[in-house]
Structure 1
Amino acid sequence: MRRLDLAPNLAIATLWADWLCQCGIEATVQRAFSSSIAGQIPPDQALPEVWLVDEQHYERARALLDELRARPSRQWWCRGCGECIEGGFEQCWNCGAMMPG
Protein backbone atom coordinates (compact mmCIF):
# COMPACT_ATOMS: atom_id res chain seq x y z
CA MET A 1 0.00 0.00 0.00
CA ARG A 2 1.09 3.56 -0.66
CA ARG A 3 -0.34 6.86 0.49
CA LEU A 4 -1.55 9.01 -2.38
CA ASP A 5 -2.53 12.22 -0.61
CA LEU A 6 -4.03 13.98 2.40
CA ALA A 7 -7.57 15.27 1.98
CA PRO A 8 -8.95 18.41 3.60
CA ASN A 9 -11.90 16.48 5.06
CA LEU A 10 -13.59 13.08 5.07
CA ALA A 11 -16.11 13.96 2.36
CA ILE A 12 -13.38 14.92 -0.12
CA ALA A 13 -11.27 11.88 0.79
CA THR A 14 -14.26 9.62 0.13
CA LEU A 15 -14.96 11.31 -3.21
CA TRP A 16 -11.33 10.92 -4.27
CA ALA A 17 -11.21 7.25 -3.29
CA ASP A 18 -14.53 6.55 -5.04
CA TRP A 19 -13.29 8.34 -8.18
CA LEU A 20 -10.15 6.20 -8.26
CA CYS A 21 -12.11 2.99 -7.68
CA GLN A 22 -14.45 3.87 -10.55
CA CYS A 23 -11.36 4.32 -12.73
CA GLY A 24 -10.16 0.83 -11.81
CA ILE A 25 -7.64 1.76 -9.11
CA GLU A 26 -8.37 0.26 -5.72
CA ALA A 27 -8.11 2.98 -3.07
CA THR A 28 -9.09 3.29 0.57
CA VAL A 29 -9.56 6.12 3.06
CA GLN A 30 -7.40 5.90 6.17
CA ARG A 31 -7.65 8.03 9.35
CA ALA A 32 -11.30 8.69 8.51
CA PHE A 33 -12.26 9.49 12.09
CA SER A 34 -9.02 10.84 13.50
CA SER A 35 -10.31 14.42 13.38
CA SER A 36 -11.86 13.71 16.79
CA ILE A 37 -8.38 13.77 18.34
CA ALA A 38 -7.17 16.86 16.45
CA GLY A 39 -6.61 18.76 19.70
CA GLN A 40 -4.29 16.05 20.99
CA ILE A 41 -2.14 15.76 17.85
CA PRO A 42 -1.11 18.33 15.22
CA PRO A 43 -4.10 19.12 12.99
CA ASP A 44 -2.35 18.04 9.79
CA GLN A 45 -1.85 14.58 11.31
CA ALA A 46 -5.59 14.23 11.87
CA LEU A 47 -6.56 14.67 8.22
CA PRO A 48 -7.95 11.70 6.29
CA GLU A 49 -5.64 10.05 3.78
CA VAL A 50 -6.25 8.27 0.49
CA TRP A 51 -4.18 5.12 0.09
CA LEU A 52 -3.66 2.90 -2.93
CA VAL A 53 -3.87 -0.85 -2.44
CA ASP A 54 -1.40 -1.49 -5.29
CA GLU A 55 1.39 1.07 -5.43
CA GLN A 56 2.05 0.21 -9.10
CA HIS A 57 -0.94 2.44 -9.89
CA TYR A 58 0.58 5.48 -8.18
CA GLU A 59 1.47 7.51 -11.28
CA ARG A 60 -1.92 6.92 -12.93
CA ALA A 61 -3.75 7.66 -9.66
CA ARG A 62 -1.77 10.89 -9.19
CA ALA A 63 -2.69 11.96 -12.75
CA LEU A 64 -6.38 11.13 -12.21
CA LEU A 65 -6.47 13.01 -8.92
CA ASP A 66 -4.79 16.03 -10.52
CA GLU A 67 -7.38 15.89 -13.32
CA LEU A 68 -10.22 15.76 -10.80
CA ARG A 69 -8.85 18.77 -8.93
CA ALA A 70 -8.50 20.79 -12.14
CA ARG A 71 -12.13 20.55 -13.24
CA PRO A 72 -13.18 23.68 -15.10
CA SER A 73 -15.33 26.23 -13.37
CA ARG A 74 -17.85 27.95 -15.61
CA GLN A 75 -20.72 30.37 -15.48
CA TRP A 76 -23.52 30.04 -18.02
CA TRP A 77 -27.15 30.95 -18.40
CA CYS A 78 -29.67 28.15 -18.96
CA ARG A 79 -31.62 28.53 -22.19
CA GLY A 80 -34.52 26.57 -20.69
CA CYS A 81 -35.27 28.59 -17.57
CA GLY A 82 -32.76 31.45 -17.44
CA GLU A 83 -31.02 30.14 -14.30
CA CYS A 84 -27.40 31.17 -13.77
CA ILE A 85 -25.29 28.01 -13.39
CA GLU A 86 -21.85 28.27 -11.79
CA GLY A 87 -19.15 25.66 -11.28
CA GLY A 88 -18.29 22.57 -13.25
CA PHE A 89 -21.90 21.70 -14.02
CA GLU A 90 -23.01 20.92 -17.55
CA GLN A 91 -26.70 20.51 -16.74
CA CYS A 92 -29.17 22.95 -15.20
CA TRP A 93 -30.19 21.92 -11.69
CA ASN A 94 -33.55 23.67 -12.11
CA CYS A 95 -34.92 22.36 -15.42
CA GLY A 96 -32.39 19.73 -16.54
CA ALA A 97 -31.35 21.51 -19.76
CA MET A 98 -27.80 20.87 -20.95
CA MET A 99 -25.14 23.57 -21.18
CA PRO A 100 -25.14 25.24 -24.60
CA GLY A 101 -22.34 24.55 -27.05
Structure 2
Amino acid sequence: MKRLTTAPNLALATLWADLLSHAGVATTVQRAYASSIAGQVPPDQTLPELWIDDEDQIHKARQLLHDLRHPVHRVWACPGCHEVIDGPFEQCWNCGHAMPPPP
Protein backbone atom coordinates (compact mmCIF):
# COMPACT_ATOMS: atom_id res chain seq x y z
CA MET A 1 0.00 0.00 0.00
CA LYS A 2 1.10 3.55 -0.68
CA ARG A 3 -0.23 6.80 0.78
CA LEU A 4 -1.66 9.05 -1.91
CA THR A 5 -2.69 12.16 0.03
CA THR A 6 -4.55 13.54 3.01
CA ALA A 7 -8.02 15.01 2.70
CA PRO A 8 -9.35 18.04 4.56
CA ASN A 9 -12.30 16.05 5.91
CA LEU A 10 -13.88 12.61 5.89
CA ALA A 11 -16.58 13.51 3.36
CA LEU A 12 -14.04 14.45 0.69
CA ALA A 13 -11.81 11.50 1.57
CA THR A 14 -14.61 9.00 1.00
CA LEU A 15 -15.78 10.79 -2.17
CA TRP A 16 -12.26 10.77 -3.63
CA ALA A 17 -11.72 7.14 -2.63
CA ASP A 18 -14.99 6.08 -4.27
CA LEU A 19 -14.23 7.94 -7.49
CA LEU A 20 -10.70 6.53 -7.67
CA SER A 21 -11.97 3.02 -6.97
CA HIS A 22 -14.59 3.33 -9.72
CA ALA A 23 -11.79 4.41 -12.09
CA GLY A 24 -9.93 1.17 -11.37
CA VAL A 25 -7.56 2.31 -8.62
CA ALA A 26 -8.36 0.40 -5.43
CA THR A 27 -8.32 3.06 -2.70
CA THR A 28 -9.00 2.97 1.02
CA VAL A 29 -9.44 5.70 3.61
CA GLN A 30 -7.23 5.44 6.68
CA ARG A 31 -7.49 7.52 9.89
CA ALA A 32 -11.15 8.16 9.12
CA TYR A 33 -12.04 8.86 12.73
CA ALA A 34 -8.72 10.12 14.06
CA SER A 35 -10.12 13.64 14.38
CA SER A 36 -11.48 12.60 17.77
CA ILE A 37 -7.95 12.77 19.18
CA ALA A 38 -7.28 16.30 17.88
CA GLY A 39 -5.88 18.35 20.72
CA GLN A 40 -3.81 15.45 21.97
CA VAL A 41 -1.78 15.37 18.75
CA PRO A 42 -1.23 18.06 16.10
CA PRO A 43 -4.38 18.58 13.97
CA ASP A 44 -2.59 17.72 10.72
CA GLN A 45 -1.84 14.29 12.17
CA THR A 46 -5.56 13.51 12.40
CA LEU A 47 -6.65 14.18 8.82
CA PRO A 48 -8.06 11.25 6.83
CA GLU A 49 -5.62 9.70 4.36
CA LEU A 50 -6.12 8.01 1.00
CA TRP A 51 -4.06 4.89 0.40
CA ILE A 52 -3.88 2.90 -2.82
CA ASP A 53 -3.45 -0.85 -2.81
CA ASP A 54 -1.19 -1.15 -5.88
CA GLU A 55 1.90 1.06 -5.72
CA ASP A 56 2.30 0.74 -9.51
CA GLN A 57 -0.87 2.82 -9.92
CA ILE A 58 0.39 5.83 -7.95
CA HIS A 59 0.91 8.01 -11.05
CA LYS A 60 -2.54 7.14 -12.43
CA ALA A 61 -4.08 7.86 -9.02
CA ARG A 62 -2.33 11.23 -8.74
CA GLN A 63 -3.49 12.23 -12.22
CA LEU A 64 -7.08 11.17 -11.53
CA LEU A 65 -7.11 13.02 -8.21
CA HIS A 66 -5.69 16.13 -9.88
CA ASP A 67 -8.41 15.94 -12.54
CA LEU A 68 -11.08 15.59 -9.82
CA ARG A 69 -9.75 18.56 -7.88
CA HIS A 70 -9.29 20.79 -10.95
CA PRO A 71 -12.28 20.36 -13.28
CA VAL A 72 -12.25 22.02 -16.69
CA HIS A 73 -13.82 25.49 -16.58
CA ARG A 74 -16.06 26.32 -19.52
CA VAL A 75 -18.42 29.11 -20.56
CA TRP A 76 -21.04 28.20 -23.16
CA ALA A 77 -24.53 29.21 -24.26
CA CYS A 78 -27.27 26.61 -24.18
CA PRO A 79 -28.68 25.95 -27.66
CA GLY A 80 -32.13 25.30 -26.15
CA CYS A 81 -32.82 28.24 -23.85
CA HIS A 82 -29.75 30.45 -24.46
CA GLU A 83 -28.78 30.36 -20.78
CA VAL A 84 -25.08 31.12 -20.25
CA ILE A 85 -23.49 28.20 -18.42
CA ASP A 86 -20.32 28.96 -16.50
CA GLY A 87 -18.24 26.20 -14.92
CA PRO A 88 -17.42 22.52 -15.43
CA PHE A 89 -21.00 21.65 -16.38
CA GLU A 90 -21.88 19.69 -19.50
CA GLN A 91 -25.65 20.06 -19.25
CA CYS A 92 -27.91 23.10 -18.96
CA TRP A 93 -29.37 23.44 -15.49
CA ASN A 94 -32.42 25.24 -16.87
CA CYS A 95 -33.66 23.04 -19.74
CA GLY A 96 -31.40 19.97 -19.68
CA HIS A 97 -29.78 20.37 -23.11
CA ALA A 98 -26.30 18.94 -23.46
CA MET A 99 -23.32 21.17 -24.12
CA PRO A 100 -22.79 21.55 -27.88
CA PRO A 101 -19.63 19.99 -29.34
CA PRO A 102 -16.67 22.34 -29.82
CA PRO A 103 -16.49 24.05 -33.22
What TM-score bracket applies, with the shorter chain setting the length? 0.7 to 0.9
Structure 1 partner of 2:52? 52
Partners in 2 of 1:27 and 1:87 — Cα distance?
Answer: 28
Structure 1 residues 86 and 43: alpha-carbon distance in aligned structure 2, compared to 1, 3 A threshold: farther
Structure 1 partner of 2:24? 24
Partners in 2 of 1:2 and 1:84 — Cα distance?
Answer: 43
Structure 1 residues 80 and 2: alpha-carbon distance in aligned structure 2, compared to 1, 3 A threshold: same
Deviation at residue 54 of structure 1 after TM alignment? 1.7
Partners in 2 of 1:87 and 1:27 — Cα distance?
Answer: 28
Q: How many residues align?
A: 101
> Normalising to structure 2: TM-score of the pair?
0.79
> Normalising to structure 1: TM-score of the pair?
0.80
Structure 2 partner of 1:7? 7
Partners in 2 of 1:86 and 1:34 — Cα distance?
Answer: 38
Report the residue type matching 2:59 in the other structure: E
Structure 2 partner of 1:88? 88
Structure 1 residue runs of 4 or more that deviate by more than 4 Å after TM superposition: none
Structure 2 partner of 1:34? 34
Structure 2 partner of 1:98? 98
Partners in 1 of 2:87 and 2:34 — Cα distance?
Answer: 31
Deviation at residue 84 of structure 1 after TM alignment? 4.5
Deviation at residue 51 of structure 1 after TM alignment? 0.4
Percent identity between matched residues is 60
Mark the runs of 5 or more structure 2 residues left unpaired by the alignment. none
Deviation at residue 95 of structure 1 after TM alignment? 2.3
